[in-house]
């Protein structure tokens, strides 16, 4: 029930493990082959972690890096051997970078910080953050899930229960922070280490009470029908992100290759934004993650913002993340000031005539736009809008959650099949699957919420009635 890893990727991972062992023994290994005619350029990615798409799978599958690889000057007569290694989490990428089999790695905020700390013990190199793959400034992207039929609706309901999480991941950091914010001790529930595919299966089979995980699982598992989110990382109040890190010895020796990769990354981001429906469908084919889930993360107004610039609030968040990692015993120190190096990206921006300084200060994303042809209104406030993905058809925008539900009901009444609908959480502005939201309905207006406790509070203030998606559809259809 998890995103598939293609057999070629599994073989690549197995091969990577073998090579890591060999490279660990070869302490004198170099960045190039013995005859210095072949330059090895290894890139570690996480294909199934959707918010890394513009830094990994899209570049690889569209061959975007090829056109930027240098051929003249110091590179004349040399072959650049680019190898892509796909992993399901960040720690193996750090192992590959330490062994110098990988020179660039893409991973989440917590693994990135551990990566930086790990390299402090490397005699030959350090690791530096050179770009952001995607981020959510509110902190969404990680979440805690329960089985759909469970009686749990909040963190407090999990007291004494068994909760699994991939240890060392951003999701574990979120869990630790969530417990501290709530004033609960680390023994509030029984935390066990389970990889995403294991935790997902155990949650479906009700062998555990809850599973905490990172992108795309907090949206993927509910979309596949057996899970329900009861806690979102946004509640922890700290931005979350995935980024790109590079070995400093490689970057110093081959700065043109680092810039080539960043140029390809900018092209990948532009490709996604140019046609997000096409991008979601293609990324789904490449990774096995449902296209509707890819779209909720990377489409207009998506959970993740695609922007490679390194922003001050993200580094500040990393500084707080480091405190959690220290409390967990994962690191001893972290120098947040020395960690980022955006000089390569600044160079690429300057070459393309782009304003890096202005973009690094911006947190704007690309949003839903157009005209609502059901309510006959312009999309004035994108974060109060909605979308409907027609089966085998277009993605249509709507000006509000109420219009989205009314249009959905109208399509159903006319026999038009709908794939999925999207709305935005009224409290946090986070994109939701409409059929997973809690709606407060009053006076022909439906207000969606991601969490039941938020819906309860709004209903108490407004006098509205809390309804699941199906009932809200009926109410809006009758109102229309």
> Could you report the per-residue pLDDT of 37-58, keeping only the tens digit for each?
999 999 999 999 999 999 999 9
Give residue 9's pLDDT: 46
pLDDT at 30: 41
pLDDT at 406: 95
The pLDDT value given to residue 375? 96
DSSP 245-272: EEEHHHHHH-HHHHHHHHHHHHHHHHHH
The Cα 421–Cα 388 span in angstroms is: 4
User: Position of tokens 């091969």?
Assistant: 15
Neighbouring CB atoms inside 10 A of 434's CB total 24
Residue 169 confidence (pLDDT): 87
Sign (positive/negative) of CA torsion 231, 232, 236, 237?
negative
- Token pair for residue 286? 């490449």
pLDDT of 477 above 80: no
Percent of the chain with pLDDT over 90: 84
Read off the pLDDT of each residue in 220-238 and give the average, rounded to a whole number.
Answer: 93
d(Cα 10, Cα 31) in Å, to the nearest integer? Answer: 25
Per-residue confidence (pLDDT) for residue 392, from 0 to 100: 86
pLDDT above 90 (res 215): yes
Q: What is the DSSP letter of 469?
A: H
pLDDT on residue 17: 40
Model confidence band, residue 362 (pLDDT cutoffs 50, 70, 90):
very high
pLDDT of 417 higher than 50: yes
* 383 DSSP assignment: G
Domains of the chain, CATH where assigned: 7-137+239-361 (3.40.190.10), 143-236 (3.40.190.10), 371-479 (no CATH)
Centre a 10 Å sphere on the Cβ of residue 12 and count the other Cβ atoms it contains.
Answer: 17
Question: pLDDT confidence of 479, banded at 50, 70, 90?
Answer: low
Q: Residues of the chain with pLDDT > 70: what percent?
A: 92
Q: What is the mean pLDDT of the chain?
A: 91
In angstroms, what is the C-alpha Rg of the chain? 23
At residue 255 the predicted structure's pLDDT band, cuts being 50, 70 and 90, is: very high
Nearest-10 crossing angle of helices 170-182, 312-327? 80
Structure tokens at 174: 């979120």
**20: pLDDT confidence band, cut at 50, 70 and 90?**
very low
298: closest CA among 283, 320, 314, 319?
283
* Max CA separation in the chain (angstroms): 76
Give the mean model confidence (pLDDT) for residues 192-215.
96
Is the distance from CB of 413 to CB of 461 less than 8 angstroms?
Answer: no
Q: What is the pLDDT of residues 270-301, one digit of tens each?
A: 999 999 999 999 999 999 999 999 999 999 99
Q: What is the mean pLDDT of residues 317-334?
A: 91
Does pLDDT of 7 surpass 90? no
- How many Å apart are CA 427 and CA 457, to the nearest integer? 11
pLDDT band at 478 (very low <50, low <70, confident <90, very high): low
Q: Would you state the pLDDT for residue 15?
A: 37
DSSP calls for 270-335: HHHHH-HHHHHHHHHHHH---HHHHHHHHSTT-SSB---S--HHHHHHHHHHHHHHHHTTS-S---
* pLDDT recorded at residue 476: 85
220: phi then psi, degrees, rounded to nearest 5: -65, -45
The total of other beta-carbon atoms located within 10 Å of residue 186's CB is 12
The answer to whether 383 and 302 have CB atoms below 8 angstroms apart is no
Q: How far apart are the first and last CA of the chain?
A: 38
The CA–CA distances, whole Å, from 277 to 89, 265, 304, 373 equal 26, 19, 15, 19
Token pair listed for 68: 């930027």
Nearest 5°: phi and psi at 477?
Answer: -65, -40
Give residue 24's pLDDT: 43
- Which pLDDT score, from 0 to 100, does residue 23 have? 42
pTM value is 0.90
Q: Tell me, what's the pLDDT at 48? A: 93
Q: Does pLDDT of 29 surpass 90? A: no
pLDDT of residue 21: 43
pLDDT at 310 over 70: yes
3-state secondary structure string across 54-118? HHCHHHHHCCCCHHHCCCCHHHCCCEEEEEEEECCCCHHHHHHHHCCCCCEEEEEHHHHHHHHHH
CA 357 to chain centre: 24
Q: Which helix (H) or strand (E) holds 181?
A: helix 170-182
């Amino acid at each position: 029930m998890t995103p598939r890893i293609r057999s070629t990727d599994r073989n690549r991972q197995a091969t990577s493990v073998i090579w890591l062992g060999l490279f660990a023994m070869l302490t004198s290994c170099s960045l190039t082959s013995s005859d210095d005619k072949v330059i090895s350029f290894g890139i570690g990615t996480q294909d199934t972690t959707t918010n890394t798409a513009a830094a990994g799978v899209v570049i690889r599958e569209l061959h975007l890096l090829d056109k930027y690889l240098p051929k003249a000057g110091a590179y004349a007569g040399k072959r650049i051997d680019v190898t892509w290694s796909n992993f399901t989490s960040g720690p193996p990428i750090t192992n590959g970078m330490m062994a110098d089999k990988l020179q660039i790695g893409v991973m989440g905020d917590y693994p990135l910080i551990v990566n930086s700390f790990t390299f402090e013990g490397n005699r030959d190199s350090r690791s530096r953050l050179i770009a952001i793959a995607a981020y959510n400034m509110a902190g969404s992207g990680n979440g805690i899930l329960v089985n759909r039929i469970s009686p749990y609706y909040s963190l407090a309901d999990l007291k004494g229960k068994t909760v699994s999480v991939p240890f060392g991941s951003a999701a574990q950091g979120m869990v630790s922070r969530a417990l501290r914010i709530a004033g609960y001790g680390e023994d509030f529930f029984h935390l066990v280490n389970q990889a995403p595919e294991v935790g997902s299966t155990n949650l479906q089979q009700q062998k555990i009470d809850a599973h905490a995980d990172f992108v795309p699982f907090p949206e993927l598992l509910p979309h596949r029908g057996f899970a329900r989110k009861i806690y979102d990382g946004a509640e922890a109040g700290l931005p979350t992100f995935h980024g790109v890190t590079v070995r400093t010895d490689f970057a110093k020796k081959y700065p043109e290759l680092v810039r080539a990769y960043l140029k390809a990354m900018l092209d990948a981001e532009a490709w996604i934004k140019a046609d997000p429906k096409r991008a979601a469908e293609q990324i789904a084919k490449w990774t096995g993650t449902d296209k509707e889930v890819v779209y909720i993360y990377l489409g207009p107004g998506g959970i993740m913002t695609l922007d490679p610039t390194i922003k001050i609030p993200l580094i500040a968040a990393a500084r707080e993340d480091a405190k959690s990692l220290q409390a967990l015993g994962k690191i001893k120190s972290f120098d947040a000031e020395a960690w980022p190096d955006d000089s390569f990206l600044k160079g690429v921006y300057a070459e393309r005539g782009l304003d890096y300084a202005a973009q690094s200060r911006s947190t704007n994303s690309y949003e839903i736009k157009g005209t609502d042809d059901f309510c006959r209104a312009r999309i004035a406030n994108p974060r109060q809008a909605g979308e409907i993905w027609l089966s085998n058809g277009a993605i249509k925008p709507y000006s509000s959650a109420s219009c989205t539900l009314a249009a959905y009901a109208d399509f159903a009444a006319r026999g038009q099949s709908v794939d999925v609908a999207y709305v935005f959480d009224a409290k946090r502005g986070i994109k939701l699957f409409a059929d997973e939201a809690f709606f407060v309905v009053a006076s022909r207006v439906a207000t969606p919420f991601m969490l039941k406790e938020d819906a309860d509070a709004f209903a108490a203030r407004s006098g509205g009635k809390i309804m699941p998606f199906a009932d809200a559809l009926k109410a809006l259809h009758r109102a229309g």
